[in-house]
Structure 1
C-alpha cells in the first residue's frame, strides 16, 4: 500500500529521488540528498520524515538527518538535536537527529490540506537545509 499517494511515488521516481520507507514505523527516508555547497561538513545526508496517517491532509513540522549536520563555520544550528537525544530516531542502526521547523498558518509554507504532497515536503526540507538558522 505505501505511505504516500501513487502520484507521489511517480514524482519521486521521475525526479530521481532515492528513498526507502517503512510502513510499520511510518518512516520515509530520502537518501543521498545533496546539501548546499560549503555549508555543512558533509555534502549529502539522509533525511527521515514521519508520514502522518492522515497524509496528505496534514503535513509535517519536523525531519531528522543522518548524520547529524554540523556547519563548517561552527555556528550552532537552532532547534536541532544532538546525538543521543531522546527525540532522535534510530533506523537500521543509524541515528537520525531531529530538526524542528514550524510552518505558521497563513504563511507560504503552511500545509495546504489535500493539495500539498511529497514535493511540498521536499521543498520544505530543502528550504530548511539552505537556511539552517531560521
Structure 2
C-alpha cells in the first residue's frame, strides 16, 4: 500500500484498527487518504465501498470536508441520493463526491476533530440516507 505522506499517529492507529487496507497518495498537488472495502449499511446496491478523503494543507488544524466513494453508491430502492452529482478523478478512477459539510453548530475543532471524527460523520451520512 502506498504511503506517500504521513498522517498524525492517532489517525494511523485508528485506520489500522479498522482492519482495512488504506493508503495515502499525492495527486495533482493534492493529498488523499483512501480506505478500501469500507462497509456500508443495508439499503445500498453494494456492501463495501472505497472511501477517499482529501487531506488539506494544514490538517489537522485545517478541516476535513466531504467524502468520495468508488464505485458510486446507489440506493436499492432507486431513490436519488442528494448532492452526489459531482465526480472526482483520482487514481485513474471516477469517485462519487458526497457534498456534506459541517455547520456552524458542528464546526471543526482543531485538537478535537480528526480523521477519526470524520469517519464517524461518514458513517452517520451513510446511515442518515435511510432515515
Structure-2 residue corresponding to 1:89? 88
Q: Residues 133 and 58 of structure 1: is their aligned pair in 2 closer, same or farther, counting only changes over 3 Å?
A: farther
* C-alpha contact 1:56 1:115 (8 A) present in aligned 2: no
- Cross-structure match for 2:69: 65
Q: SS at 2:105's partner residue?
A: coil
Alpha-carbon displacement from aligned partner over 1:45-87 (angstroms, at most 9, x marks no partner): 0111101111111222211110111100011011112xxxxx4
Q: Secondary structure at the match of 1:26?
A: strand
Q: Report what 1:84 is aligned to.
A: none
Q: Equivalences for 1:48-127 in 2 at 5 Å?
A: 48-81=52-85, 87-107=86-106, 110-127=107-124
> Given the two structures, how large is their TM-score scaled by the length of structure 1?
0.84
Equivalences, count: 126
Q: CA deviation at 1:21?
A: 1.1
Q: TM-score, normalised by structure 2?
A: 0.85
- TM-align CA RMSD: 1.9
Unaligned runs of 5+ in 1: 82-86
CA distance in 2: counterparts of 1:115 and 1:9, whole angstroms: 16
Partner SS, residue 17 of structure 2: helix
Q: Which residue of 2 aligns with 1:33?
A: 38
